[in-house]
Amino acid sequence: MLLIMPAKNQVNVPLCSECKGHKDNHLFCNLSKGELDTFSEDRADNSYKKGQVIFYEGNRGHGLFCIYEGKVKIHKLGDEGKDQIVRFAKKGDVLGYRSLLGNEPYNATATAIEDSIICYVPKSKFMDVLDNNNDLAFRTIQLLTNDLRESEKKIINITQKPVIERIAEAILILKEKFGLKPDAKTLDVILTRREIADLAGVTTETAIRTLSDLNKKGVLHLNGKQIELVDIPQLIRLANVVD
Amino acid sequence: MLLIMPAKNQVNVPLCSECKGHKDNHLFCNLSKGELDTFSEDRADNSYKKGQVIFYEGNRGHGLFCIYEGKVKIHKLGDEGKDQIVRFAKKGDVLGYRSLLGNEPYNATATAIEDSIICYVPKSKFMDVLDNNNDLAFRTIQLLTNDLRESEKKIINITQKPVIERIAEAILILKEKFGLKPDAKTLDVILTRREIADLAGVTTETAIRTLSDLNKKGVLHLNGKQIELVDIPQLIRLANVVD
DNA sequence: TCATTATTATGATCTAAATCACAAAAAGCA
DNA sequence: TGCTTTTTGTGATTTAGATCATAATAATGA
């Protein structure tokens, strides 16, 4: 039994109002400098090593997590050790808002999949701003509708698609979320085969075999944990994405 | 090919401000009489026969549906005719808010599973109220977090549980949503075996066999489409619900 | 009312993916 | 550095549930 303790070393993170993380249609993109400064006032900036848990399913949260640097998986543990990855989060993404807003325990566990720096903003600070900012409420609704759409799509995929299509789709989900390295081919994220299996909802062995299949077919090129997308159109055809 | 045309007969439905549908923590429970009256102004009250479609996945909505009377299934059609029921709605429930808020096409199809009367409120009326009512935004967020929690739970169930547990859970979901008849035993909803299969994510044959199993085991008593819950504790144990 | 279509039911067969079992390679650690 | 643990990889076997086939029953509608 390996005991992982969260590393609570303070690190150097700019003020929320100076942070480059929230641009485009980020949850916080329309907040005023003043509102963002409120967040910084009582903020804790923690660093997490790969494998460390940010929060556990079933526990209650009292604040919001915002990823300054790094990558995180959101996953639910079933009975008998099976794990299902629900979604990923990366730099700029906000975690834990759902449990905060619904005032309910975390519905899933968040674990760093690489060394990460994650800011924690206490509930009260966020709620104060939310109460007086309709745009923030709208953007929250937007985030939730996105998550819900993806979640419902996943249900269809898992019930109605054979393994090769689910693995293909898993690879495309990773491409969508984390993008490709400068070579424009290799996925910019490192996962174990087990994690890919947990994302696609299959066993590790099946994921390994299927990836190896896609490698033989020339759709992917596997280089250890590096996954190169050789034939993206074919990958899309295989994933047979409905929407 | 059977062509079902929506029945657009006007029926007698009270003003929104007089409607008994929104109590407890209903989405509209805290709206003022004035706000509710705005909804009535431009409302259309339509009746749908069992089997008729309220809206189709992929189409765009321009308003909100509120069920005055009846029951509805929300479902997604996969390729090759397979269908997955995502959730149900009944008297008082609001439909289509997600597509409205996210400004995106319907993510699923809504079909009446019994004769229903459903009110339609145009988008503008709803948005006008939402813009000036923070409580409504909060309640919307609440609805979304609930849906999302259920959806993610469904993913775990489908990937990690054997069929008997999924069917048991499906029956419990129906009990939760539609309750029992005055006899306190029989589910207060009529579904085909195929629909129960579509809810649990299995084939019709498997659903029939599994229900028949539960019947033999004395957990359920099947009487045509009437399902009597004989041993609820055992049903819960079987469903092995995680939360 | 009878004809047609949809639904329920059950048995036989098949198969995709899980499980089991073991070895090699890689990663982590003292 | 060598030692332990984790991860990857492949083959053999099993099995849950899908698929196929066919009949009986119930619902629908002209």
Distance A2 CA to D2 C1' (A): 21
Q: Are the Cβ atoms of B141 and A144 closer than 8 angstroms?
A: yes
Read off the pLDDT of each residue in A218-222 and give the average, rounded to a whole number.
Answer: 97
Q: How far out from the chain centre does Cα A160 lie?
A: 24
Q: Are the Cβ atoms of B152 and A149 closer than 8 angstroms?
A: no
User: Is it the case that residue B19 has pLDDT exceeding 50?
Assistant: yes
Contacts of A107 in chain B (CB under 8 A): 148-149, 152
Q: Are the Cβ atoms of A142 and B101 closer than 8 angstroms?
A: yes
Q: Are A34 and A138 in contact (CB under 8 A)?
A: no
Q: Which of B191, B197, B207 is nearest to B51 (CA)?
A: B191
Q: Which of B93, B85, B88 is nearest to B69 (CA)?
A: B93
Does residue A2 reach within 7 angstroms of strand D, measured from its CB?
yes
Q: Residue B4: its pLDDT value, please?
A: 42
Residue A11: pLDDT band by 50, 70, 90 thresholds?
low
Share of chain B above pLDDT 90, in %: 79
**Range from A80-89, A234-243, B61-70, B181-190 carrying the lowest mean pLDDT:** A234-243
Of A10 and B71, more confident: B71
The nucleotides of chain C lying under 7 Å from a protein CB are 5-12, 16-21, 26-28
- B99 Cα to chain A: minimum distance (Å): 8
Q: Are the Cβ atoms of B98 and A242 closer than 8 angstroms?
A: no
- A201 Cα to chain B: minimum distance (Å): 6
Read off the pLDDT of each residue in A193-202 and give the average, rounded to a whole number.
Answer: 97
Distance A123 CA to D9 C1' (A): 47
Q: Residue A241: its pLDDT value, please?
A: 61
Query: Which of A131, A134, A151 is the closest to B148 by Cβ?
Result: A151
* Per-residue pLDDT tens over the stretch A112-128: 999 999 999 999 999 99
Q: What token pair was written down for B237?
A: 């144990």
Q: Residue A5: its pLDDT value, please?
A: 42
The C-alpha angle with vertex B143 and arms to B198 and B163, in degrees rounded to 5, equals 25
Residues 173-192 of B with CB under 7 A from strand D: none
Tell me the three state secondary structure of residue B172: helix
Query: Which of A78, A84, A148 is the closest to B144 by Cβ?
Result: A148
Residue A33's φ and ψ, nearest 5 degrees, are -55, -40
Read off the pLDDT of each residue in B100-119 and give the average, rounded to a whole number.
Answer: 93
User: Is it the case that residue B10 has pLDDT exceeding 70?
Assistant: no
This prediction's pTM: 0.91
* Per-residue pLDDT tens over the stretch A126-155: 999 998 888 898 899 999 999 999 999 999
CA–CA distance, A117 with A10 (Å, rounded to integer): 9
Q: Residue B243: its pLDDT value, please?
A: 45
Q: Residue B241: its pLDDT value, please?
A: 62
Dihedral Cα B101, A145, B77, A173, nearest 10 deg: 140
CA–CA distance, A66 with A91 (Å, rounded to integer): 8
Q: What token pair was written down for A224?
A: 């250890």
Q: Are A169 and A241 in contact (CB under 8 A)?
A: yes
Q: Residue A150: its pLDDT value, please?
A: 94
Contacts of A78 in chain B (CB under 8 A): 156, 159-160, 242
Closest alpha carbon to C1' of D16, residue: B162
Read off the pLDDT of each residue in A10-23 and give the average, rounded to a whole number.
Answer: 82
Q: Residue B240: its pLDDT value, please?
A: 74
User: Is it the case that residue A242 has pLDDT exceeding 90?
Assistant: no
